[in-house]
Amino acid sequence: MIDTRERFLATFREIGWEEFSKDREASWHSMLGIFLHILEVEASWLHYALQGSPLTDSPSLNPAEFSNFDQLTVLNSEISSKTIAILEGLKGQDLSMEVAFRERSGITRREKEIVLMHAFADEIAHVGEFVCLLWQLDVKPPFIDWLDYQLEG
């Protein structure tokens, strides 16, 4: 999913910061808010929960603290690099291991595979949201269909 974010960032650069950061009454208000939410979910669930650390320790990303695409590119790269290292370190048998992590409601236990699927499913849902928001602006998304994305390489 990491390359998909880079492709969408390139499209967002084309529409400009103003359109990208405008409140569109979407799930996380703006495309900026959605993008930061995707990064926040990946960082919190993979970098914290998957490691057994409290979710409450993960950083919160506030759209007001970002003012340009270069900042997002750096943040995306940092989070992606750490995620790749974590995923490369996982072995098949690791996926069935449970991790315990603290949420606001208390301690939760989940298999690592479930934690990974949660983060992946959340990003997929929001990528679909990006597609729809871009269509509303009459802008062609970088891809729509996962199979086409794979063929484009």
49 and 115 Cβ atoms separated by less than 8 Å? yes
pLDDT-derived band at 58, boundaries 50, 70, 90: confident
Of 46, 56, 66, the closest CA to residue 114 belongs to 46
> Where does residue 43 fall: left (phi above 0), alpha (psi -120 to 50 degrees), or beta otherwise?
alpha
**Overall fold of domain 2-152:** Four Helix Bundle (Hemerythrin (Met), subunit A) (1.20.120)
**Is the pLDDT at 153 greater than 70, yes or no?**
no
Look over the chain and give the mean of its residue pLDDT values, rounded to a whole number: 90
pLDDT of residue 88: 94
**Is the pLDDT at 60 greater than 80, yes or no?**
yes
**Is the pLDDT at 63 greater than 80, yes or no?**
yes
What is the average pLDDT across 71-95?
95
Q: Write out pLDDT tens, residues 88-103.
A: 999 999 899 998 877 7
End-to-end Cα spacing for the chain? 13
Q: What percent of the chain has pLDDT over 70?
A: 93
98 and 52 Cβ atoms separated by less than 8 Å? no
Q: Write out pLDDT tens, residues 107-142.
A: 888 899 999 999 999 999 999 999 999 999 999 999
pTM, entire model? 0.90
What is the average pLDDT across 71-97?
94
Angle at 33 between CA 116 and CA 84, to 5 degrees: 30
pLDDT of residue 151: 64
**Is the pLDDT at 43 greater than 70, yes or no?**
yes
